[in-house]
Amino acid sequence: MNVVQAMLTGALIGGLYALMAAGLSVTWGVLRVINLAHFGLILIGAYLTFEVATSWRIDPMLTLVVSVPAMFLAGAAIQWLFDRLGLTEFNSLLVSFGLLIITIQLTGNIWSADFQRMSADVNPYATGSVAIGRLVFPVTTLVAFGLAALVVLAAHLVLRRTFVGRAMRAIAQDRAVAGAFGVDHRRLSVLLGGVVGATAALAGMVFALSNALTPETAYEWFGTVFAVVILGGIGEVVGTFAAGILVGVLSGVVSAVWSPATAPFVLFSAIILALLVRPQGLFGGAR
C-alpha cells in the first residue's frame, strides 16, 4: 500500500513538474530559444502569490488575477528582447541565465533571503487532503495535476487545431518560408512568450501553496524540469505532461522503497539510459 500511495502521489506531483516544464519546452521547440529566465518568472509568480495573499488576506488562487497578467507582460517583454537582439539558441541560453540571476537577486532584495511561507489561515490548501479508501492525496498535488492537465490540453488543441497553432508550428519548421506565406513570426513569438509567462505564474502559485520560498529555490528546479523537457521531447506538450508524471512516479517510488536521498541518483541514471535508447526523448519524434 505504501508503494501504491507513493506512485499515485508522485504522479500528482509530476503535474507540477509538467506545469513548470511546458513553457520551457514550447519556447525551445517552437522559437528555438532556451529561456532559463522562465525559472525566474515561476519564482516571481510564487512570491506574488505569497505577497498578495498575505497582504490582502485573500484566497491564494485568486492571486492569479494579479500574477498571470504580470507574468504575461514579463514573458512577452523577454521574448521581444530575444527577437530584437536576434539571439541564436546558444546565446539565448547565456542571456536568459543572466536574466535569471538578476531576477533571483532582485527577489532577494525585495523579499530577503529568509524562508517565506503563507500561514495556515491564509492558505487552507497546505493542510487539506482528499481520502479515497486508505489512500490520501494532498489538495495541493491535486490542484497541480489538474492545472497541468488543463494547460497541456489547451496547448495541444491550440497548436493542432487553430490557425495560430499551425502558424507557430510553421515557424518552428522554417521561419523564412512561414514569413513568405504571411506569418508574422515576431508578433506570434511575443504572443507565445506572454502565454508561457502566464503558465509560469500558474506554476509559481501551485508551488507556493505547499512550499516555503527562498530566492535560491529557482536553482533547485533545473535538474528535474530539464529532465522532464528532454524526456518528453522538446516542443511536445503532451509528451512533457507524460514525462512529468513518469519522473514524479519514479521519484516517489524510489523515495518510499529506499530513501529520498537516493531518488535523484536513480532518476538521472534512468534518464541517461532512456536517452541512450531514444536521444529525441521518450515521447518526442525524430528530428
Between CA 45 and CA 51 the distance in angstroms is 10
Digit-coded pLDDT (tens) for 66-102: 999 999 999 999 999 999 988 888 899 999 999 999 9
pLDDT grade for 221, boundaries at 50, 70 and 90:
very high
Q: For the chain, how many helices (H) and strands (E)? A: 12, 2
pTM of the full structure: 0.92
Q: What cell was used for 99?
A: 536574466
Residue 287: the pLDDT is 46
Q: Return d(Cα 60, Cα 50) in angstroms, integer.
A: 7
Question: What are the boundaries of each domain within the chain?
Answer: 2-277
CATH match for 2-277 among 1.10.3470, 1.10.10, 2.60.40, 1.10.4160: 1.10.3470
* pLDDT higher than 90, residue 267: no
Is-contact 83 30, C-beta < 8 A? no
Q: Which of 12-16, 67-71, 245-249 has the highest mean pLDDT?
A: 67-71
pLDDT in tens, 149-192: 999 999 989 888 888 888 888 888 877 777 777 788 888 999 99
